[in-house]
Structure 1
Amino acid sequence: MSDSRQTAKTTSSGRGQVSGSGPGDNGLDAIYRSISEAIIEHRLKPGARLREDALADVFGVSRTGIRKVLQRLALEQLVTLTPRRGASVTRPSVDEARDVFEARLLVECAMMDAAAKRITEEDIQELQEMAKQEREALRNREQRIAIKLSAIFHARLAEISGNRTLAGFVGQLASRSSLILAVYGNAGHLGCESHDHDNLIDFLAAGDGAKASDFMERHLKSIEASLSIFEEPEETPDLWDIFAVDA
């Protein structure tokens, strides 16, 4: 076994710590976060198989615990469970991609008026910092990080609107969009101008919900219009290599 794999098992700050928590809720929550982040950041690519036995070995928990985590991810449509085949990272179809963006248009645009009324100076500063980090990621050609930051930005905007139920829905849609961008997006950009989020913040800061809603519509349509279809071969990832990064 390589040194990195030994580290993933034995380090006090790595996956060994998760196994020390046992198969309880806290330990499984940590595994859920690790896998979902790996999916959103495109370290686990769409279509990649997720073997229960391998994940159980990596995280030091039972297959029953891993199965619970995969079922939770499947409910959020980040993972697909297939009888006799097991789990794999969801690979959205073209129709699913269109459905997700249609849902985002309906929900996120409608939330901008409430967000414009409720936004605080602290919220504005937080969003501006998020937008700055996203621009830097794009400038450094860190596509997977930029995709993750964009999803976080949109989820935070939804939270500012004050409707927790819709904010949770937008968070799920944003995560699914990360998969869609990983599959159908173009390298080097997210299908929108790098300053789009800054412009959106300006409208919200001015309290203009109508302009923010109109801009959000153009923003989301621009992202969807940039998508292109390509085939990517299925792969079985090295789970030790992926999750040893967190060790």
Structure 2
Amino acid sequence: MTARRVASALRAAATASPVSGAGAQRHERIYQAISAAIIEHRLQPGARLREDALADVFGVSRTGIRKVLQRLAMDQLITLTPGKGASVTRPSAEEAREVFEARRLVECGAMLPLAQTLDAAGLTRLRALAAQEQQALEAGEQSAAIQCSAQFHGTLAALAGNQTLATFVVQLCSRSSLILAVYGNAGNLGCDCTDHQQLLELLEKGDGKAAAAFMAKHLEDIEASLSIGDEPQAVPDLQDVFAGYRR
């Protein structure tokens, strides 16, 4: 971006009227609805997201949709391409390897401090998430199981005492979901909830080294389950994807 364009953008931001509280809440709901559809694989990687169609679905202006899409792009859930618009991010094989490498570095490192600080309340919270994931799997509710798994990993990092780390783990889990959608086999949720239960047993014993080793194997098993292949880009029916959304 040239200096002139940067200056123009800054002037526009300075003179723009602030989003009202109600408008900000609506944008947040739309952001959550789209991100959930991506993470739960209802919007597949590569799917095009037309601004006009989204504006019609959610009953807002294209300007409002554009702001939401920019936020999703910052979170790397979608890709904005000049002249082509928005599409759900489709991770490359190299990106997939990098995400799992980052997860091993971050999540395994969190196990040592977590084993020393995890209390009864935290353990109960983690067990509840593992139980919810198991129930969702038994009920065939794949989307709910994916969400519970991501929450489980994010909560592990949060309970280790580092909220910045927890936020990073949540972002990595979101990207992992995209990777599973592209390279995972049918019905593959990535995480095995029985692994989560075994991990909690090690943490309850205070064995941080064993927990770190187990987490490494857990993430390696997920990565090993992936089958790299090409899939055509999809054009989703946005009215159908967001049929349950309430304005």
Normalising by structure 2, report the TM-score. 0.86
Which residue type is aligned with residue 25 of structure 2? N
3-state DSSP class of the match of 2:242?
A: helix
Q: In 2, Cα distance between the equivalents of 1:86 and 1:54?
A: 12
Aligned 8 A contact 1:39 1:78 in 2? yes
3-state DSSP class of the match of 1:81?
A: strand
1:221 is matched with 220
Which residue type is aligned with residue 212 of structure 1? A
Q: In 1, Cα distance between the equivalents of 2:131 and 2:230?
A: 32
Identity %: 62
Which residue type is aligned with residue 241 of structure 1? D
Once the two structures are superposed, the pairs formed by residues 228-247 of structure 1 within 5 Å of their partners are 228-247=227-246
Query: CA distance change for structure 1 residues 55 and 191 in 2, over 3 Å: closer, same or farther?
Result: closer
Which residue type is aligned with residue 109 of structure 2? A
Aligned 8 A contact 1:58 1:240 in 2? yes
Which 5+ residue runs of structure 1 have no aligned equivalent? 1-20
Q: In 1, Cα distance between the equivalents of 2:231 and 2:160?
A: 38
Query: CA distance change for structure 1 residues 191 and 43 in 2, over 3 Å: closer, same or farther?
Result: closer
Query: CA distance change for structure 1 residues 191 and 171 in 2, over 3 Å: closer, same or farther?
Result: closer
2:5 is matched with none
2:146 is matched with 147
Residue 96 (1) aligns with residue 126 (2): no
3-state DSSP class of the match of 1:24?
A: helix
1:35 is matched with 34
Normalising by structure 1, report the TM-score. 0.86
RMSD: 1.7
Q: In 2, Cα distance between the equivalents of 1:193 and 1:73?
A: 28
Aligned 8 A contact 2:180 2:226 in 1? yes
Cα offset for 1:22?
8.0
Once the two structures are superposed, the pairs formed by residues 194-213 of structure 1 within 5 Å of their partners are 194-213=193-212
Cα offset for 1:160?
0.6
Show CA shifts across 1:179-235 (max 9, x none): 111111122343554410001111111222111111100100010011002322212
Once the two structures are superposed, the pairs formed by residues 79-118 of structure 1 within 5 Å of their partners are 79-118=78-117
Aligned 8 A contact 2:149 2:191 in 1? no
2:118 is matched with 119
Deviates more, 1:144-153 or 1:36-45: 144-153
2:25 is matched with 26
3-state DSSP class of the match of 1:88?
A: strand
Aligned 8 A contact 1:154 1:171 in 2? yes
Aligned 8 A contact 1:40 1:175 in 2? yes
2:57 is matched with 58
Q: Which runs of 4+ in 1 moved over 6 A?
A: none
